[in-house]
Amino acid sequence: MNIKKTAFISIIAFLIVIAVYFIWRYVRYRTTIIVQEEERPETSTIGTITPVIIDSTNMPIIPTTIPLPTNTLGPIYSNIPSHCMENYATVAGTANFSESEFASRDGSTTPNQLKGNLQLLMQQLEVIRAAAGNKPVTVSSGYRSVAHNAAEGGAAKSKHVCCQAADIKIAGMSANKVYDLIAQLIESGQIINGGLGKYNTFTHYDISTSRRWDYS
């Protein structure tokens, strides 16, 4: 009986020790988690992404608009016709064409906002001139101010008011021949496929959208 009682008490004591041990382990475990959570830094140094500092001084300058330096703007031309695409340049000119040949016949200044168009037009005319055997090209009408265009009875949406059109004659060539030559150059992709108009004494060519007409 004593042996059984002693054994029983021993087992109970052993279980109590085991229980106390696990309770102690549990309490210590919980406490450790709380301490770890409280002491955890706001951001871990492991796995963080270092923010990239962008040095704006080394960034390429991407202009969102065509810069218009005030010192080279020239005369401000405030009423560019709304149907005209603006293409700014301070000067236009190629080997065989100069701005003065395209100036509005009423003496109006060619706006810088349109001179980029004129430059592109001149480049096409150089191709036409070369294809014609370098014969002299006469520009009978280039840029027209809105007022001059109206006085001449030009179409309200004329490409002449946008510096995109020229009425030309080529020495020793009929207007028909000039028309055909320009049509061929357009066909072969050597010049811009713009407007091409046939008249008795001259040929109209412009660098706007593709159109053809015959007023001869």
Chain contacts with Zn ion (rule: CB under 5 A): 165, 167, 204
Q: What residue number has its CB nearest to Zn ion?
A: 204
Q: Can you list the alpha helix ranges (DSSP code H) found in 40-170?
A: 99-102, 112-131, 146-151
Residue placing its CB nearer to Zn ion in the complex, 165 or 170 = 165
CA separation for the pair 141, 204 (Å, rounded)? 9
Residue placing its CB nearer to Zn ion in the complex, 88 or 183 = 183
The CB-of-211 to Zn ion minimum distance in angstroms stands at: 11
The CB-of-160 to Zn ion minimum distance in angstroms stands at: 6
Strands (E), the chain: 137-141, 165-170, 195-198, 203-206, 211-214
Query: Over the Cα atoms of the chain, what is R_g?
Result: 42
Distance from the Cα of residue 28 to its chain's centroid: 67
Q: For residue 73, give the nearest of 59, 86, 82 by alpha carbon.
A: 86
Distances (CA, A) of 114 to 83, 86, 132, 210: 12, 5, 27, 20
Residue placing its CB nearer to Zn ion in the complex, 129 or 204 = 204
Distance from the Cα of residue 65 to its chain's centroid: 8
Please state the φ and ψ torsions of residue 136, each to the nearest 5 degrees.
-60, 135
Residue placing its CB nearer to Zn ion in the complex, 119 or 206 = 206
The CB-of-64 to Zn ion minimum distance in angstroms stands at: 34
The CB-of-65 to Zn ion minimum distance in angstroms stands at: 30
The CB-of-183 to Zn ion minimum distance in angstroms stands at: 16
Residue placing its CB nearer to Zn ion in the complex, 120 or 167 = 167
Cβ atoms 182, 212 nearer than 8 A? no
Per-residue tokens: 123: 């480049």
The CB-of-88 to Zn ion minimum distance in angstroms stands at: 23
